[in-house]
Amino acid sequence: MPKKRENRGRKKGDKGSVERIHCDNCGALIPRDKAVCVTKMYSPVDPQLAAELEKKGAIIMRYPVTKCYCINCAIFYGIIKVRSEEERKRSIPLQKVS
């Protein structure tokens, strides 16, 4: 049976089996190399209060929060887009999400 993708939708290479992680949205078990991970900066301070404090010279710490999603949830939330058949055949570098 023909393969749809050369890498079978994973970044495993010759690693053998890879540990599984839970999707942060639906809880599905997925291989770590297949998960779509997004890192966003999180601040525990309210944005309006943080803006006022920064005007007065205070430093507000922001913490990186990494969330890993399964393919279904990543498409649903718009983190990744479904590409046309012709686009899928071309290799494009991944864009950094900030």
Rounded to two decimals, what is the model's pTM? Answer: 0.72
- In the chain, at which residue ranges do the beta strands (DSSP E only) sit? 20-22, 29-31, 36-42, 63-69
Q: Which residues contact 77 (CB under 8 A, 6 or more apart)?
A: 25, 69
User: pLDDT of 37-80, one tens digit each?
Assistant: 999 999 999 999 999 999 999 999 999 999 999 999 999 999 99
Q: Which domains does the chain have, with CATH numbers?
A: 20-79 (3.30.1740.20)
User: pLDDT of 62-73, one tens digit each?
Assistant: 999 999 999 999
